[in-house]
Amino acid sequence: MSFLEKYRSAADSRKSLVCVGLDPDPERLPDHLRGTADPVSSFLTEVVAATCDLVCAYKPNFAFFGAMGVAGWRRLEDVLSAIPGSTPVVLDFKANDIGNSARRYAQMAYEALGVDAVTVNPLMGSDSVAPFLEYPDGCAFLLCLTSNPGSADFQRLSTQDGPLYQHVARKALEWSRTGPCGLVVGATHARELATVRRIAPGLPFLVPGVGAQMGDPGEVVRCGSDRNGGGLLVNVSRSVLYASSGRDFAGAARCAAESLRAKLERERASSLSP
């Protein structure tokens, strides 16, 4: 199955727009896991087991694994193996380089790790994005308007086509005719999220910034949904992973994911009501 097929199937069958980010911080793991053979893998696999029926996707952040060196790659493989095959995985590494190097990044993600989608920095242009579009079953989520405060430094700069983030959205729509594209738009920019949806009505949006960054889930659904009330992967990481630091961490993660799922579904039902 392609990424889009997996995403739509998971979102529909689980009635969920929730994407859980897997960002393991060894310093925040529950104390009782620290004496186990591999605390990070144990932590993440338990979180996945507790939440896998509630999510439309998982998003492991490569930086957190890469910071652990060789062991981090093994731990990433462990958690990828624990994720059910019916659930799509977005590798968050915001990669890019000249075409030859970008091709290696794409191979690492799609072939070595076997993920379903990747986040990509489009700043170097079409030839650097093209290698990520060569995988018809994947999806390249292009950074458009990110959730961090510094996003304004460049992403809002004026161009002849409007702010830069709008130009990225138009390019994503154009490039999606070559290979599957999506956009990363932060939940902290609800008004702009609506603008980007008007530009790219059919593309999937990965939306970080709900949870620890205080983006509003209701506004995300109202402003970012496609015409069918979907097309969103609403990412939440820290507020799910670290909902508890005790032995109940997996159950607490499930409760946090379920709470967000319910909020999003209530808003989606309301937006689709005649």
Give the Cβ contact number of residue 71 at 10 Å.
12
Question: Rounded to an integer, what distance in angstroms lies between the CA atom of residue 40 and that of residue 24?
Answer: 7
Strands 181-185 and 158-159: what pairing? unpaired
Active site residues: 94
Give the Cβ contact number of residue 171 at 10 Å. 19
Angle between helices 39-51 and 70-82 (to 10 degrees): 20
Beta strand segments in the chain, E? 18-22, 57-60, 90-95, 117-120, 140-145, 158-159, 162-163, 181-185, 205-207, 232-236
CA angle 138–84–8, rounded 5-degree value: 50
Q: What is the separation of C-alpha 199 from the centre of its chain, rounded to a whole number of angstroms? A: 20
Q: How far apart are CA 255 and CA 271, in angstroms?
A: 24
- In 3D space, the residue among 175, 187, 65 whose CA is nearest the CA of residue 122 turns out to be 175
Per DSSP bridges, beta strands 158-159 and 162-163 are antiparallel
Residues 6+ apart with CB under 8 A from 109: 91, 93, 95, 115, 118
